Amino acid sequence: MGEIFANYDIVGAVWKTIQLAVLSAIGATVIGTIVAVLRVSPVPVLRGIGTTFVNTFRNTPLTVLMIMSVLGFSFLLGLQIREDFADNAFWWAVIMLSLYHAAFVCEALRSGINTVPAGQAEAARSIGLTFKQSLLEVILPQSFRGAIAPLVSTYIALIKNTTVAAVIGVAESAGILATITENEGGSLPLFLVFALIFVVLTLPLGVLGTNLSRKLAVKR
């Protein structure tokens, strides 16, 4: 075990996993929020765009998106994000993880928005707030609580789904695990170590989620 740690950059791989997760979580949150706003907007065309986005990315396997990015966009269409092969794969992984999970972030936010009674939006509009103001002042603050549980699930899934980036050669945790297994043979303790790493990364999120939803409770 010690030897393996000495010969392979496991810490570096875990760091890659964390980078992938954090960057993709930011991307997914930004894109997901925008798509959620599209989906609740009063303009039918915008709603259509939002719905199409969600249906496309939620229903395509992440592995397919990953492979399509590097093999399809990068090699066939020549869409290189970075010169360096590894860097290019890393950033494509961030983009695909962001897009894929944005669909889930959008639906989490929307389910939160759906927990807010319709009367709240009507009251907001009837005092003259614009669509944007109603959303920012009345709807979103009340919808976060309902959105927390599904959001936390989405971020936990995202952290674990970073391992899919291994299929396009990103040297994150699953990638290095595959390499080690190939070279040294599999070992149960090794698998346990990697499983534990993911538990350590995801567990605090669950705890944070529970505390937040308690704190943000809106009394009705």
Three-state helix/strand/coil letters over the chain: CHHHHHHCCHHHHHHHHHHHHHHHHHHHHHHHHHHHHHHHCCCHHHHHHHHHHHHHHHHCCHHHHHHHHHHHHHHHCCCCCCCCHHHHHHHHHHHHHHHHHHHHHHHHHHHHHHCCCHHHHHHHHHCCCCHHHHHHHHHHHHHHHHHHHHHHHHHHHHHHHHHHHHHHCCCCHHHHHHHHHHHHCCCHHHHHHHHHHHHHHHHHHHHHHHHHHHHCCCCC
Number of residues in contact with other proteins, rule: CB under 8 A?
A: 22
Residue 48 near other proteins by CB under 8 A: no
Q: Does 128 engage in binding with other proteins (CB under 8 A)? A: yes
Binding flags for other proteins, 14-43, as an x/- string (CB under 8 A): ----------------------------x-
Q: Per CB under 8 A, which region of 54-62, 71-79, 90-98, 136-144 contacts other proteins? A: 136-144
**Where do we find the tokens 């290189």?**
80
Does position 202 interact with other proteins (CB under 8 A)? The reply is: no
Residue selected from 19, 80, 133, 179 as contacting other proteins according to rule CB under 8 A = 133
Based on CB atoms, which residue is closest to other proteins, 7 or 126? 126
| Amino acid (one-letter) located at 92 | W
In this complex, which beta carbon is closest to other proteins, that of residue 16 or of residue 145?
145
Window of 138-146, 147-155, 156-164, 200-208 that interacts with other proteins by CB under 8 A: 138-146
Minimum CB distance to other proteins smaller for 126 or for 211: 126
What's the min distance (Å) between Cβ of 78 and other proteins? 42
Interface residues toward other proteins, by CB under 8 A: 42, 117, 119-120, 122-131, 133, 137-138, 141-142, 218-220
